[in-house]
Structure 1
C-alpha cells in the first residue's frame, strides 16, 4: 500500500508540473519571448565588444553602469547607479612587446592591471632569467647584475599542450613522464624562489629595487594559448603577462646563451580615487511591494579578455530575464530587483555593500538567484542549507520546461556556500539566496580570468535556457502565496574544532580600495 501511495504522489506531482507548464499563459509567454525575440546577442555585442572589460576603477566599468541604466529605462524599467565605495582609478592603454634580437618578432603580451605606464618610447633591454639560487646571500649578489635588464619571473613550462591532448595522443608512459617532469620542475622552481629569502610576490619589489628595467610573467592556464591575467605590484617599471609560446621561446634563448632583447611599450593612466557603483533595476510589486525577488550577477571583470563568461553571461541572463518579465509580467505581486554588482573580483564588495546598506530589503527577500560561473546551461541547484528549500524550489521548478529541468541536479537542503560569488553576501545575512550553477565549458582552463574570455566563447542556446529558467523561477516566487522559510539546517560538527560549522560569516565590504601607487 505504501508503494502504491508513493507512485500516486509522484503521478500527481508530474501531472501538476505538466499542467503548470501547459496552462499558465505567463510561463508560455516567457518561453516564446525568450526563443522568438531574444536580445542576448545584441546585448552581448554592446557589453563585450563595444564597452569591453570592466575592471573595477576603470572608465569602462562606469560606462557599463551607465549603459545598463539606459538599457533598462528603454525597456520601461526603473534603474539607477548606487555608489558602493571608491577604488584606485586606472585606465589601460596600448601594450606592445617586440623581440629585437637575435631576430625581430612581435610578441603576444598584456600589461597587467594597475601597472605603471612606460614612457612613449618604452623600455628596452636584454632578457634574463632567475638563475639557480643557493641562499639569500647568493640572490643578493645576483641582484647587483640585473640593472637595465628585463627579468622573466615565471617558471618555464615543459609543455604547451593541455593534459587532455596528452591523454588522447600520447602513450601512457610518455604522459606519465611529462607529468613527473612538470611536477619536478614546479618543485624546483618553488624551492629556488624560497632560497632567495622571498616569495613569488615579495621578490618583485626586490627586482624593481635592484634596477630591473621591466618584468615579464606568464601565468599559463593549461590550455592552448591561454594565460591567466592578474594584477601587478610594481611601482615604476612595467610588468607584462606573456603568452606561453612566446615566453617559452625567450626562456630557451636565455638558457642557450642567445641573449635575446625585447622592447616593451605599456601605456596606462592613473586616475586617482574614483567612485564605483552597483547598477540596480526594479519592477515594483503590486500586492507585496516590500517583499523582494533579487536577481544577482556581478558586473565587473578582469581585463585580460572582455569578461564574457566571468561574468558577462550571468549579466546577460539577468538583463534578459528582467526584459522578458517587464514585457510578459509587468505587474508582479512582489518587487523584482536586479543587482549588477561591482568589485566582486576583489571580495564581493558591491554585493556586501548592498546587503550592509539595505537591511530593510534583505530581511524581506523571498528569494535571490545568482549566476556567475560561465556560459553553460544551469545543471545544479542547491537548497543552500535552508531546511524547507525543497518545498518551495521544487514548486517553482515544476513550471519550468522539462527540456531545461532534465539537465538540473537538485540538492536539498544542501549546504550554504561560504565564498566564491555574490550569493554568499546574501546568505551571510540569512537571506534565501541560491546559485544557478552551470556547466563549465572548460571555464577554469580557458576563460576564467584569461585573455580568451571573449564573446566567441558564449554558447547562446545555454544562456537562453538560463534566462528562461531565471524568469520562470522569479515569476513563480513572486506569485507564491507563501513566504519562503528561512529556517536553516543544523550544521554538522567540525571535527577539527569540535563545534558546529558556521554559516558564511558577514563581512563588511572594502569601501575604499585599490593598490598603492
Structure 2
C-alpha cells in the first residue's frame, strides 16, 4: 500500500469525527449567538410577570399562565399541552386596602394572605388589640379569649428593628450590634413561650381566635430585609387575615400596648371559586434516534402571590422556555427527546412533579438527565452529583464545550448526596433518575424575594439568566448527543450529621391530588 493511499484511508476514517466536531462547534456557536444576540427573555418575563402576574395554584392566573405557555411553545413549533394531575381550592385575589382611622389617619401598607376570606362589601372597621403579654397557662388564655369578639387581633411579635443585620453590622458599634441581637433573641424566646402557654401553636392560634369571634387577624411576617414581608396563606375560614409592613405593624402594636385603642378599616376583596383543575405544562421536542430517552428541562411554574413570582420561579420557567426555543431553532432533530416540564403546585409540596413522576414511570426510566432551576435570578454557581457515583464523568463531559467565562463561576461537588426535597428535581431523584439542581448565586434571594412582596420583575438580572440559558442549552445538546446512557449507580452515602447513621436515598411520594380545602 503506497503512502498516498494510506493517507487517503486515514483521512477517510478520520472524516466522521471531524464532521462531528464541526457540527458540535457550529451548534454551540449558534446557541451562544442566539442566547446573547436574539434573547427573548425580557419579552417572556414581561408577558408572564406583568401581564399575567403571580401564579397561585388554583387561581385563574395560574390557568392563564399554563395556556399562555402552551401557545408560546406552539408558536415556536414545539408540541405542548397542559396535563391535569389533580385539583385545588380555586381562589382569586382582589383589592386590599387598609387604613388606620384612629387615633390618627394613615394608609397602611399590606395585603390579605392567599385564600383569605373577603371582608363584607363595606369592609371591617374595628379596634386592633394585642395578645396578653404574660399568659400563665391555657386556662387563663381561655378566660381572656372572649375579649377578641369583634376585634382585629395582632398575632405577630413586634420587631425591635426594621434594619437587616447586615445594616447593623456595617454601621453600629460591635457592642451595640451584639446588644440588639441578644435582646431580640430574648424577646423572641419570651414571645414563643407566651404563645405556647396559650395551649395553641402559631399554626392553630388564628383558628382559635376566629372561633372566639375575632373580626380579623393582622400579622407581619418580616423577611429580615428592608420592605420585605413573606406572604403565605390564611389559616382562617370566614374572617380575613392580612399581613402589614413591619413599621405599620409596629406602630399599631405600640398604640394598642399603650392603651390608645387604634382602629383599623380593612377592605379585602377576594373570590372563592370552588374547585379548579391543577396542571403541569409539558412540551416536547421528539428525539430522532433514541426517542424513549429523555432530557427534562425542569422548573416550577406556580408561585406565591405577594409579588409576581419573578425569581421564584418565573426566572427558572422562562429560562427553560428560552432554552427550548433556541434548541428547536438550532438543534431541531435531537437524538433524545427533550421535555420541558413547567410544574404546578411546587410551593405546596412538589405536587406537580411528584404526580408526573408517579404517572410516567417509562419516562422516568428513560431519563438521561433532569436539569432543574428554582432559586432566584443569579448565574449558576453550584452543581452537585446528587449521589450518583459516575456523575462526574458525564456532567463534566457535557460541560466541556461551555465557554470558560461561564464555567469559571461554577463549583462542583461529586458525587454529592441526594436531596430529599426543596425543588422538583428531588421528585425525580427519589425515583432514581439522574436529576440535578442548577443552583444559582443568591442576589439576597432568601431575604428579599423568596416568597415576599418584593419578588417582582425589577429584581431579575437578565445577564445572569442568559448565562444560564447558554449553560443548560449546551449541556442539553451534549446530553442528547452522548452515545452513552448516563449511569444511575449510586455512591455510598455519607453519615447523617444529626443521627450518625448512614444517609438513605429518598423515597418516592405521590403528589397531593386534591388540596387547599
Is the 8 Å Cα contact of residues 89 and 273 (structure 1) preserved in structure 2?
A: yes
Q: Decide whether aligned partners of structure 1 residues 494 and 255 sit closer, same or farther in structure 2, where only a CA change above 3 A counts.
A: closer
Q: Size of the alignment, in residue pairs?
A: 498
1:363 pairs with 354, 362, 365, which one? 365
Determine the structure 2 residue equivalent to 1:127: 128
Q: Decide whether aligned partners of structure 1 residues 145 and 179 sit closer, same or farther in structure 2, where only a CA change above 3 A counts.
A: same
Q: Decide whether aligned partners of structure 1 residues 140 and 86 sit closer, same or farther in structure 2, where only a CA change above 3 A counts.
A: same
Structure 1 window deviating more from structure 2 (127-136 vs 294-303): it is 127-136
Equivalents in 2 of 1:347, 1:20: separation in Å?
43
Is the 8 Å Cα contact of residues 118 and 265 (structure 1) preserved in structure 2?
A: yes
Determine the structure 2 residue equivalent to 1:394: 396
By how many angstroms is 1:21 displaced?
A: 10
TM-score of the pair, normalised by structure 2 = 0.94
Determine the structure 1 residue equivalent to 2:85: 84
Q: Decide whether aligned partners of structure 1 residues 321 and 496 sit closer, same or farther in structure 2, where only a CA change above 3 A counts.
A: closer
- What secondary structure is seen at the aligned counterpart in 2 of 1:145? helix
Determine the structure 2 residue equivalent to 1:58: 59
Q: Decide whether aligned partners of structure 1 residues 303 and 496 sit closer, same or farther in structure 2, where only a CA change above 3 A counts.
A: closer
2:350 pairs with 348, 351, 354, which one? 348
Aligned counterparts, 1:100-139, within 5 A = 100-132=101-133, 133-139=135-141
Render the CA deviation track for 1:388-414: whole Å, top value 9, x for unaligned.
111111111111111100000011111
Render the CA deviation track for 1:356-380: whole Å, top value 9, x for unaligned.
1111111001111000011000000
By how many angstroms is 1:167 displaced?
A: 0.3
Return 5+ residue gaps in structure 2 as ranges. Answer: 1-16
Determine the structure 1 residue equivalent to 2:13: none
- What secondary structure is seen at the aligned counterpart in 2 of 1:57? coil
Equivalents in 2 of 1:179, 1:498: separation in Å?
32
Q: Decide whether aligned partners of structure 1 residues 32 and 172 sit closer, same or farther in structure 2, where only a CA change above 3 A counts.
A: same
Q: Decide whether aligned partners of structure 1 residues 296 and 272 sit closer, same or farther in structure 2, where only a CA change above 3 A counts.
A: same
Q: Decide whether aligned partners of structure 1 residues 422 and 495 sit closer, same or farther in structure 2, where only a CA change above 3 A counts.
A: closer
Equivalents in 2 of 1:21, 1:259: separation in Å?
77
- Could you list the structure 1 runs, at least 4 aligned residues long, displaced by more than 3 angstroms after superposition: 19-23, 492-500
Determine the structure 2 residue equivalent to 1:4: none
Render the CA deviation track for 1:169-188: whole Å, top value 9, x for unaligned.
00001101110111011011
Aligned alpha-carbon RMSD (Å): 1.5
Render the CA deviation track for 1:396-441: whole Å, top value 9, x for unaligned.
1111111100000011111111110000000011100011000111
Aligned counterparts, 1:446-461, within 5 A = 446-461=448-463
By how many angstroms is 1:139 displaced?
A: 1.0
Return 5+ residue gaps in structure 1 as ranges. Answer: 1-15
Determine the structure 2 residue equivalent to 1:178: 180
- What secondary structure is seen at the aligned counterpart in 2 of 1:80? strand
Equivalents in 2 of 1:426, 1:332: separation in Å?
22
Determine the structure 1 residue equivalent to 2:76: 75
Aligned counterparts, 1:244-263, within 5 A = 244-263=246-265
1:472 pairs with 461, 465, 474, which one? 474
By how many angstroms is 1:141 displaced?
A: 2.1
Q: Decide whether aligned partners of structure 1 residues 495 and 232 sit closer, same or farther in structure 2, where only a CA change above 3 A counts.
A: closer
Equivalents in 2 of 1:441, 1:497: separation in Å?
33
Aligned counterparts, 1:216-231, within 5 A = 216-231=218-233
2:160 pairs with 144, 158, 164, which one? 158
